[in-house]
Amino acid sequence: MTTTPHVDIDRERIAELTAREARALDARTQASRDMYERARRTLSGGVASSYQVRDPWPIYLSRGQGPRVWDVDGNEMLDFHNGFGSMVQGHAHPAITRAVNARMELGTHFAAPTEDAIVVSEELSRRWGLPKWRYVNSGSEATMDAIRIARAVTGRDTIVKIAGSYHGHHDGVMVAIGAVPAELGDRESYASVPYGAGIPQAVAEMTVPVPFNDAPAMERRIDRLTEEGRPPACVIMEAAMMNLGVVLPEPGYLEAVRELTCARGIVLIFDEVKTGLCIAAGGATERFGVTPDMVTLAKALGGGLPSGAIGGTEEAFAVVEDGSVYQVGTYNGNPLSMAAARANLLEVLTAEAYRHLDALNDHILEGCRRVIESYGFPGYSIGVGSKGCVTFSPEPIVDYETFKANQDADLAELAWLYNLNRGVFMTPGREEEWTLSVTHSSEDCDAFIAAFEEMASDLTA
């Protein structure tokens, strides 16, 4: 990641262009506006999840095919949001559609095991080099169960997590995200700030945040926790942070965390809900060459159906197999999800698919880099596998503090409006990365680069 000399962007110009683009988007999404008026009467906030909220109204979609989606106004867009990275296989992929249709005819739910669940665990085991697997229905369930297993294995309660990282919506991990640095306090002893209301402080206190890309700081905090009589059960982390754009691990960082956690008998959990299946066949574990004790998967696993998985060592799963941890769920290993996951893994996300994704990502990252350089735009492009972004910061973002210090939310919002108005669908209102799908082409990526170039040109003219 490099940053080049850059121009100062006029804030008034950002505001002016934001107003212009917002007006244009409002004009072309009137059916979404009408749907919002109807939806909000019974569907709280007009959406199914608060992450879908958008002011003045959300963009309601009607269908997707390959790399494209259509909204209820009939606007056709290339999808770079891809369901928060769940749709790396593209929409309505024929292999997954076939598998799901075939399963529909045979019955969709028994709460009894089926062969597809075995095939999927065999393939995940091969990809991750972890012998044992279980299923859940979402990323939140995966991280919740993995933490429970870690606590049972170690007989300890404390969780260490990375400040700013998101691991789902259960109480134990809704800590130290979206907080302002002043609330978090000193880097050596970040506070356990709950994310939103309804989370008991006593539960939040059991989760201790540490900075990303700083193994010595993690070690010092773990030492202090041990002295205080609360050694951690686990470190749960993304090997590359995926909710502040993309923040890659610095050389040696993951290895140091692996060594440290091994030495202290702490279960290392890589939360691969976003990285898994999206940045390599075997996720971050393969890409960065560091194997944790447990991984959590969801999103891209089910090929567009709700699913999730936990993988781990024999030792980790011993507490499940001896019956001391209840890893349960009515819909775990649901036949429809498993049929989709099987087709997804064996027919869609093949070695060739990852070569295609890597080449596409190189293309889009390089295109964005060229725009940044030629307009002196304050930022840099960064990514891995199918994931990437332009980070609107002249300084490299290495952790949550550098993100908060340099975040340009206004530019992120403007970029989103430029994208939507030029047929590029991205995650609304958030510093999210793109996820490419196996159905995207380099011409599709050129459309993204062109929208970015138009914005860079308008801002620097």
Ligand X SMILES: Cc1ncc(COP(=O)(O)O)c(C=O)c1O
Catalytic positions, please? 166, 271, 299
Residue nearest to ligand X (CB): 139
Contact call for residues 209 and 161 (beta carbons, < 8 A) = yes
For residues 66 and 172, which CB has a smaller minimum distance to ligand X in the complex? 172
For residues 416 and 418, which CB has a smaller minimum distance to ligand X in the complex? 416
Shortest distance (Å) from residue 147 CB to ligand X = 12
User: How many of the other CB atoms lie within 10 Å of CB of 13?
Assistant: 14
Shortest distance (Å) from residue 211 CB to ligand X = 17
Take residue 373 and report the two structure tokens written for it.
């350089």
For residues 139 and 367, which CB has a smaller minimum distance to ligand X in the complex? 139
For residues 160 and 414, which CB has a smaller minimum distance to ligand X in the complex? 160
The residue written with tokens 């988007």 in the block is 25
Residues that bind ligand X (CB under 6 A): 84, 138-140, 143, 166-168, 238, 243, 271, 273-274, 298
Residues 6+ apart with CB under 8 A from 107: 335
User: How many of the other CB atoms lie within 10 Å of CB of 200?
Assistant: 10
Shortest distance (Å) from residue 169 CB to ligand X = 6
279 three-state secondary structure: coil
Shortest distance (Å) from residue 256 CB to ligand X = 21
For residues 84 and 434, which CB has a smaller minimum distance to ligand X in the complex? 84
Distances (CA, A) of 329 to 23, 50, 134: 46, 24, 10
**Spatial distance between the Cα atoms of 58 and 340, rounded to a whole number of angstroms:** 28
- The three state secondary structure string of 47-86 is CCCHHHCCCCCCCCEEEEEECEEEECCCCEEEECCHHHHC
Alpha helix ranges (H) inside 376-441: 400-406, 409-421
Shortest distance (Å) from residue 49 CB to ligand X = 8
**Spatial distance between the Cα atoms of 432 and 246, rounded to a whole number of angstroms:** 8
